[in-house]
Amino acid sequence: MPKTVKLRKVIKSRYKKRLEEGWYEKKTKEILRRIYKEIKDENYKEKVKINEKAFTRKRKIELKDLLFIMLNSIKKTIILVLDEYMERMKPETDYTKQAFSEARQKIKPLAFTMLNDTFVKTYYEEDYETIKGYLLLAIDGSDIEIPNTESLRKEYGMANNQKTVNGIGTARAKASMLYDVLNKIVITSIITKYKEPERKLAIKNIENLKELIQKKQIITFDRGYPSIALFKY
């Protein structure tokens, strides 16, 4: 039997056992408990708000409410999640989509990076999938399309293609991700300027990995990554 087929069967069997034992439910509850604790922490609030004046007064929706709504809007529209949240948590409070959009602008992207780091650190404290004690990780990058606005073209860069008009191309960004193949978790990721080299981003992701997880690991790359600089690193 090929080793890959054997490995899949072992992982599938382990997954079934964990499901029966309620392992995933317990793990999820602990992760959510840690994230909830961090969201309520004043130090976290100071780090993620856009300026000192943001979220200082008592408002209809506080920073923690805003984050809970945004984190729950993965599969539903913001307005639907907003209505459901207000009905359940603050039924006597009126809050508009416009007010929500304005409040959202006062949060740094760092807010979600920090929560993801908490998720990752909690997950890898104990009992996770490995191959002979090693995490199996993969790094890859891609060019991504972003809203084609002037501000984003200046911030991230642009690509010249059939949509180019009068020398103005289409806004593009570069994304790079470090993924745990066995546990199916994005450990760290980066979105940056379109012209940024993928090898440089790979090194940044590895540096981020070192801060999050101190475990034995195997990192795989596609054939476009090997270079003297990467080998030296």
SS3 annotation, 68-106:
HHHHCCCCCCHHHHHHHHHHHHCCCCCCCHHHHHHHHCC
Same domain, 134 and 224: yes
Same domain, 108 and 71: yes
Cα gap 206→198, rounded to integer Å: 12
136 in a structural domain = yes
185 in a structural domain = yes
What confidence category does residue 225 fall into, taking pLDDT thresholds of 50, 70 and 90? confident
65 in a structural domain = yes
Same domain, 157 and 105: no
41 in a structural domain = yes
Same domain, 138 and 227: yes
Same domain, 105 and 136: no
pLDDT in tens, 120-154: 999 999 888 888 899 999 999 999 999 999 999 99
Same domain, 50 and 139: no
Question: If residue 4 lies in a helix (H) or strand (E), which one and from where to where?
Answer: helix 3-21
Residue range of the domain that includes 52 = 33-114
Q: Residue 5 pLDDT more than 90?
A: no
18 in a structural domain = no
Q: Which of 109, 105, 83, 108 is nearest to 94 (CA)?
A: 83
Of the residues 114, 147, 165, which one is the last residue of a structural domain? 114
Q: What is the pLDDT of residue 162?
A: 65
DSSP letter assigned to residue 161: S
Of the residues 82, 114, 146, which one is the last residue of a structural domain? 114
Q: Which amino acid is at 18?
A: R
The percent of residues in the chain predicted with pLDDT above 90, rounded, is 45
Same domain, 38 and 102: yes
Same domain, 49 and 137: no
The structural domain count of the chain equals: 2
Cα gap 183→4, rounded to integer Å: 16
DSSP letter assigned to residue 134: B
Same domain, 94 and 180: no
Token pair recorded at residue 141: 């990058």
pTM of this prediction exceeds 0.75: yes
102 in a structural domain = yes
